[in-house]
Structure 1
Amino acid sequence: MTFALHGIPVSKGIAIGKAVLISRAALEVSHYLVEVGKEESEVQKLLDAFDQVRLELEQLRQGLPKDAPQEMAAFLDVHGMILADPALAEKPMKLIRTQRMNAAWALTTELNDLLEQFAEIEDPYLKERANDIRQVAERVIKALNAQKKDSLGHTDSFSPTDVDADSIIVAHDIAPHDMLRFKEHAFTGFVTDLGGKTSHTAIVARSMEIPAVVGVRHASEMIRHGDWLILDGEQGVVVVAPGEQLLAEYRKLQTQGLKEVRKLQQLKHARTETLDRVDIELFANIELPEDAIQALKLGAVGVGLFRSEFLFMDRNQALPDEDQQYQEYRRVVDLMHGLPVNIRTIDVGADKALGAGVDVSQTGTSPLGLRAIRWSLTEPEIFLTQLRAILRASAHGQARIMIPMLAHAKEIDETFRLIEKAKQQLHQRGQAFNPNIQVGAMIEIPAAALVLPLFINRFDFLSIGTNDLIQYTLAIDRADHAVAHLYDPLHPAILNLLANIIDQAKRANIPIAVCGEMAGDPALTKLLLALGLTDFSMHFSQLLLVKREILKANVGMLKARIPRVLKAYEPEAQAKALERLFS
C-alpha cells in the first residue's frame, strides 16, 4: 500500500531507491547501588569508558578518507569537545560517590537532566545540539556495558552488501561517526525520525549534496527494509511503496532537477551583476568554520554572519576559553583568504543554558528577555574573552565584530568601552591584533531602525536581521505555533521599514546588508533589489539560487515600480503592486 510521510526538508533533490533500515534497539542501562567502599572503583569505570570513547573518536578522526566532507571532521571534533568537557563527568561522579549509583545509571541521570534543559531552548540550531550530547553519552554508556552495538544504540543490522546505488538510509538518528561508514558505500538519500534543519545529519547531507528529509516521526518503524521509497528533499515528503505512475513522474522530476543543478553550477564563476550592470555582493551565513569552504566554492565574497554560538552550544558548565575561541575564529579567517568575516558576538541568553555558574533563567524564555548584547553586557568578563579572541583573529585577516540586538545609546557606549578595554589588555600582553578592526551592528529591533542615525554615526557597517526585525515589529513569537502564521515579511510595515533603513544607510555611504531568511529567498530577491539592497548574506546553499535571480533583474526598472508597492496597504492593492514588480 502506498502512503506518504512528512518531515523537514534539509537537503534538496529527489532520491528514488530501496530502504536500508538501520534498526534501533533500546539502550540497556542497569540500575543498582554500588557496594559501600567501592565507589571510587565505579568512578574509575566511568573514567575508563570516557577514555575508551575518546580513543575511538580519535581513531575515527585520523581514519577519515580524503574525500570526506569537512563537516564530518568538524562534528567529530565537536563530539570530542563534549567528551573533553570535565563537566559531563562531574555530576555522574558525584552521584556515584554520594548516592552510590552505578556509573551507567549516574550518567543517564545527568543526560536526562541536560536533555530537559535543551528542550527549553527556542533557538533551533542550539536545540539540535542536544542530540550531540545524547550521542556522546550513549556511546560512553555502551562502553560501560561493553555491548557490541553501533553508536546509535542500534543492533548492527547494517551491512555493506545491503547498500547499492539505489539505497536510501532510514534510521532513528544518524551520528557523525555513523556517517563515515555510510560515506564508504553508495546511497542516494537519508530519512531520519529525529533532527531539524541544523542537525548534523542535515548539514552533512547538504555538504554531500544528498537529498535528505529529517524529523519524519516514526519513519524507522513504519518503513520496512527493502521498501521502495521516493524521497523529495524539496518538499519534505517520503513516499513509501509508490506505484509505477508516481515513480515515472518523480523520475522525470529527478532528471529535470539534475539538469537544474548543473545549470546552477555554471553560475559559480559568473560576475554577480544585474542586467543594467549593478554589482551585487553575496555573502554567506555560517555556523561552523568548515561552512566557509563550501561558501567559497559557491562564490561568496565573504562571511556576512558567523554565528559564534556553536562554540558555546554543547557545554554543560565550562565555557570555551580565549585560546579555544581564537583558534576557531582564526580558522574561518584563514579559510576565507583575506575576505571579510563578520563574527557576531554570542547571541544566547535567557533561553540558553550556558553553565559556568551563569544563571540567566530568571528572565524566562521570552525573546524579549536577557539575550544577545544585553546578556553579554551583564557578563563583561565572558564578553571580554570573546572580544579578545576576535581581535587576535583580526591579525590574520579581515575579522570584523558584529553586535546583535542593540537599541540604546548606553548599550553602544558600553560595548565600545569594552572593545577598547579588550584592545588594551592585548596590547599589555604584547599580542597582535588589528587596532582598526571594523565594528558593525545588527539592526533587528524596531527602535534601532527608528533611530538609525545613531547607528550610522557610531558603526562601520550595518546588517539587517530580518528574522527578529519582523518578529518584533509584528509583535509575534516565531516559536509560538499559535501565532507563527502571522509572521509576514511582506507586511507593509516591514517593507517600509526596510526601505527606510536601506535608504538612510545608502545616503550615509555606510555598508548595509540583509542577513536574515529574506536574503536567501530567491522569491524575494527582486523585492530587495528594488529597495536598493546590494549586499545579501544567506546560507551558502542559497547562493546560486539568489544569484540566478540577480542576473535576470533590472534594478532601474525595479526601483521605478517599488513606490507603488510601498504605498499599498490593502492586501489586494499590495498583491497587484507586487505582481507588477515581479513580472
Structure 2
Amino acid sequence: MASFTLQGIPVSRGIAIGRAHLLRPAALDVQHYLVGQEQVEAEVQRLQAAIIQVHKELQAIWSDLPQDAPTELGAFIDVHVLILSDPMISEAPLDIIRTRHYNAEWALVSQIDELSAQFDEIEDDYLRERKADIQQVAERVLKVLTGTAGNAMRSDGIDERSANMIVVARDISPADMMQFRDVAFTGFVTDEGGHNSHTAIVSRSLGIPAVVGMGNASHLIEQDDWLIIDSDAGVVIVAPSTLVLEQYRERQTVLMKARKKLGKLKKTPAITQDGVEITLLANIELPQDAAPALEAGASGVGLFRSEFLFMESSGQEHKLPTEEEQFEAYRTAVTAMKGRPVTIRTLDVGADKPLDTTEHNILNPALGLRAIRYCLAEPQLFLTQLRAILRASAFGSVKILIPMMAHGFEIDQSLAMIEQAKAELRKEGKDFDANIAVGAMIEIPAAALSLPMFVKKLDFLSVGTNDLIQYTLAIDRADHEVAHLYDDLHPAILQLLQMIITAGERAGIPVSICGGMAGDIRLTRLLTGMGFRELSMPAALLPEIKQEILNTRLDALQGHVKKILRSYDSATIRETLAVMGSITPVLPTLH
C-alpha cells in the first residue's frame, strides 16, 4: 500500500516502530428490541450480572498491578470503579428496562447517549475526559453483555509476544492498557484525547511514544500495517518506505544509546556550566512513588498530588481517608525521601478528579467548586488533611501547597485553618514542624496579576502551567479541534511567568514550576534563563532535563531571553528559542 502521514497531538517523546494492533471497541450500535413484561426482571438481572462481572474484572486488574506500573494507572482504574458504581450507570439503565421494556444493551446505550449529550454541551477539558471514562466503562459492560469480553486485545496475523506492537484505537481505557503489560507494545495512537488524556499521562509515565487526537487514524490504519511514531513531531507514518524505515531506525538507535547514558547522571548535581545549581524535583501521586523518585535522582518532591489518596478505592464502598490513613501515607513519602523536601498539595478535587461519595458528590466544571474553594466549603475535611500533613512534618522536611487561590480571603482563611490545626495538635501533645512552609499554586491569571498579596503572606510559590495556560488562553486542552491553540510559548504566558519569577525574587521567596512546562526539554533553557531555579516533573523526565542543564551556560542566554520576552511574534519567539538550544552542545534529541 502507498505510504501516508497522519498528524496529531504529541504527548510524549521518542520514536516507535512496529506493527499496528487495532483495538476495536464494543460497538455502541447494539441490537434494539423490546422485552415482554415477564422477561423484564430477567433482563434487569442480566445487566446487573454484567456490571458485577466488570466490577470484578476492574478489581482484579487493580490487584494485579505490578510494582513498577505507573501509579496513574491505579488511580484511573479507581475512577472507572467509581463510575461503574454511580447510580447513573448502575441503576438508571435498570429503570429504563423496567419502564420502557428495552433490552439490556439498548437501555445501557440509551443512558450513555443521554449522559454524553450532557457532556457535549459543556466546553471543559476535565469534563470531556470524564465523558471518555463513562463511554469506556459502558463499552466494557457491553462486551460482557454481547459475549465479546476478553477479545479486545487479540488480533489475527500477529504474534503479540515477538513483534513490536503499536496500539491504534479510538481511545484506550486504563484497564485495557494494563492488559498490554506482558506484550511488547512500543507506542500508542488514538483518535481522541489531548495532553491530559489517560493515554497521554500513562505514556509519559512509561516513557512510551504516543500521538493522540488524530481524528480517524483507527479507520485509516489497517491491522498489521507498519507504523512509525515520531512523538516529538506528533507524526505517524503509515506503511513507510524501506528508506524511511531505516532512517528512523538509525535515529531510534541514537536516541536509545543517549538515554542509556543518562542513567549515569542520577547522583550528579544539576549545575549549569557557569555554576548555577538548579533543583530538580519529582511530581508524585501516591506515597509509594517517593522511593522511585529518589532513585531517579530527584532532590525532593515538588508536587505530591494528595487527591489520589482520596480517589483510591477497590470496592463499591468509597469512603474518604481518615486522618490516620492520610498521616501514614504522607509519613511514608516523607521518610522515603530521607530528609529531602516533600511538597504536599492539599486536596485538588473538582471536575477532573471527582470524589464520588454519598456526602461529597461533586462533578463541576474547571471554573466551579474545586481545589481550595471546595476545601474551604468543607472545613472539617480540610482540617483533617491539614492535621495529617502537619503530623507527617515531624518526620522530615514538608511544605504545604494550596491550589487555585485567587483571592486574599482564601489566603487568610487557609492560613487560619493551618493555625487551627496546629493549635489542636499542640493541645493533644502531637509533634509537628511549627515553622512549616506554606505556599500557593499560581495557576489562575488573577493570581499572577496580584502577586503582592501572595508574597507578603506566603513562603513560596509554585506555578501550575497546565491550568495557567488553559485559563489564560481559554483553551480546552482535551479538545483536539482547538488543541493547536494551546501554546506554552504564547507571549501572554511568558509575560505571566516573568511576572511571577520577578515577584518571587523581589520578595526573596522561592518560585518553582510543577506543571508540564517544567518537564519539556525544549523549554529548560528558557525557564532557567528567566530565573526559575526549581523544576518539578514526572521522575522519568529528570535525567534528560538534568543533561540539558549540565550543557547550559545561563550567562550566554540572557540576551536571547530578553529578546523572547520583548517579542509578541510567534515566529521570532520560536526562532530565538532554537538559537538558544544550539549555543552549547546538547544530548541528541529528535525534532
What TM-score do you get using the length of structure 2 for normalisation? 0.79
Is the alpha carbon distance of 1:187 and 1:340 closer, same or farther for their aligned partners in structure 2, counting shifts above 3 Å?
Answer: same
> For the structure 1 residues 134 and 291, does the alpha-carbon distance in structure 2 shift closer, same or farther, using more than 3 Å as the test?
farther
- Name which of 201, 215, 222 aligns with 1:217: 215
What is the Cα deviation at residue 236 of structure 1? 2.1
Partners of 1:37 and 1:510 in 2: CA distance:
72
Measured in 2, the distance between the counterparts of 1:189 and 1:244 equals 20
Q: Which residues in structure 2 correspond to 1:272-421 (within 5 Å)?
A: 272-286=270-284, 292=290, 295-308=293-306, 321-323=319-321, 327=325, 331=329, 334-335=332-333, 337-338=336-337, 339-347=340-348, 371-380=370-379, 383-384=382-383, 387=386, 390=389, 398=397, 400-421=399-420
Q: How does 1:57-96 map to 2 (within 5 A)?
A: 57-64=58-65, 72-84=73-85, 88-96=89-97
The answer to whether the 8 A contact 2:494-2:565 is kept is: no
Q: What is the CA distance between 1:2 and its match in structure 2?
A: 1.0
For residue 164 of structure 1, what is the amino acid of its counterpart? S
- One-letter amino acid of the structure 2 residue matched with residue 18 of structure 1: R
**1:219 & 1:577 partners in 2: Cα distance?**
34
Cα distance between partner residues in 2 of 1:526 and 1:46: 56
The alignment status of 1:165 with 2:168, answered yes or no, reads no
CA shift digits 1:79-131 (9 cap, x unpaired): 44444556642433444455555544443344334444554566646643433
Q: Distance in 1 between matches of 2:309 and 2:574?
A: 43
- Secondary structure of 2:56's counterpart equals helix
Q: Aligned residue for 1:20?
A: 21
Distance 1:22 1:31 in 2: 25
Q: Which residue of 1 aligns with 2:187?
A: 189
Q: Distance in 1 between matches of 2:555 and 2:150?
A: 59
- Work out the CA distance in 2 between the residues paired with 1:308 and 1:229: 38
Please say if 1:527 is aligned against 2:526.
yes
TM-score (norm 1): 0.80
Shift of 1:546: 2.4
Q: CA deviation at 1:532?
A: 2.7
1:420–1:189 CA distance, 2 compared to 1 (3 A): same
Note the C-alpha offset of 1:39.
5.7
Aligned residues: 571
Instruction: Give the counterpart of 1:265 among 243, 263, 266.
Output: 263
Deviations 1:115-157 (A, max 9, x none): 4455456664664343333333332333344x143375x7x53
Q: Tell me the residue number matched to 1:9.
A: 10
Counterpart in 2 of 1:479? 476
Q: CA deviation at 1:476?
A: 3.2
Deviation at 1:494, TM superposition (A): 5.4
| Identity among equivalent pairs (%) | 49
| From 235, 249, 252, the counterpart of 1:251 | 249
Task: Quote how far apart the aligned CAs of 1:549 are.
Answer: 2.3
Q: Cα gap change, 1:495/1:192 in structure 2, threshold over 3 Å: closer, same or farther?
A: closer
Q: Which residue does the alignment assign to 2:142? A: 141
The CA distance in 1 between the partners of 2:251 and 2:259, in whole Å, is: 12
Does the Cα contact within 8 Å between 1:194 and 1:215 map onto a contact in 2? Answer: yes
Shift in alpha-carbon separation, 1:215–1:325, aligned structure 2, 3 A: farther
| Equivalent-residue separation in structure 2 for 1:406 and 1:6 (angstroms) | 37
Uncovered stretches (5+) of structure 2, i.e. residues with no partner: 584-591
Q: Secondary structure at the match of 2:461?
A: strand
The answer for the alignment partner of 1:452 in structure 2 is 451
User: Which residue does the alignment assign to 1:241?
Assistant: 239
- CA contact under 8 A between 2:78 and 2:312: conserved in structure 1? no
- Range moving further from structure 2, 104-113 or 345-354: 345-354
Deviations 1:445-486 (A, max 9, x none): 4554454343223223211334455566xx631239779749
- In structure 1, the residue corresponding to 2:265 is in which secondary structure? coil
* 1:565 to 1:211, Cα distance in 2 relative to 1, 3 A: closer
The residue type equivalent to 1:458 in the other structure is K
Structure-2 change in CA distance of 1:61 and 1:446 (3 Å): closer
Provide Cα deviations, 1:60-87, integer angstroms capped at 9, x if missing partner: 4444556655555554444444445566
With over 3 angstroms needed to count, the CA separation of the structure-2 counterparts of 1:103 and 1:444, relative to structure 1, is same
Counterparts in 2 of 1:395 and 1:162: CA distance versus 1, 3 Å: same
Distance in 1, Cα, partners of 2:526 & 2:561: 11
Deviations 1:28-57 (A, max 9, x none): 645455655776655544443333223333
Task: Render the CA deviation track for 1:257-284: whole Å, top value 9, x for unaligned.
Answer: 2122223333233211122332211123
Aligned residue number for residue 587 of structure 2:
none
Question: What secondary structure is seen at the aligned counterpart in 2 of 1:402?
Answer: strand
Q: Distance in 1 between matches of 2:403 and 2:123?
A: 17
Aligned to 2:192, the other structure's residue is in SS state: coil
Match of 1:5, SS state, is strand
Say whether the 8 Å CA contact 1:322–1:388 is kept in structure 2.
Answer: no
Note if contact 1:19-1:225 (Cα within 8 Å) is conserved in structure 2.
yes
Deviation at 1:508, TM superposition (A): 3.7
Taking the aligned partners of 1:87 and 1:399, their CA distance within structure 2 comes to 40
After superposition, give the CA deviation of every residue in 1:234-257 in whole Å (9 maximum; x if it has no partner). 222221121122122212212222
For 1:471 and 1:2, the matched residues in 2 are separated by: 36
Distance 1:11 1:523 in 2: 13
* Residue matched to 1:513: 512
SS in 2 for 1:161: coil
Q: 1:301 to 1:428 in 2, by over 3 A?
A: same
Deviation of the 1:58 alpha carbon: 3.6
Cα distance, 1:449–1:148 mapped onto 2, change above 3 Å: closer
Q: CA contact under 8 A between 2:71 and 2:285: conserved in structure 1?
A: no
Where structure 1 has 5 or more consecutive residues not aligned to the other structure, the ranges are none
Deviation of 1:499 after TM superposition, in Å, equals 4.1
Are the structure 2 counterparts of residues 380 and 29 from structure 1 closer, same or farther at C-alpha, using a change threshold of 3 Å? farther
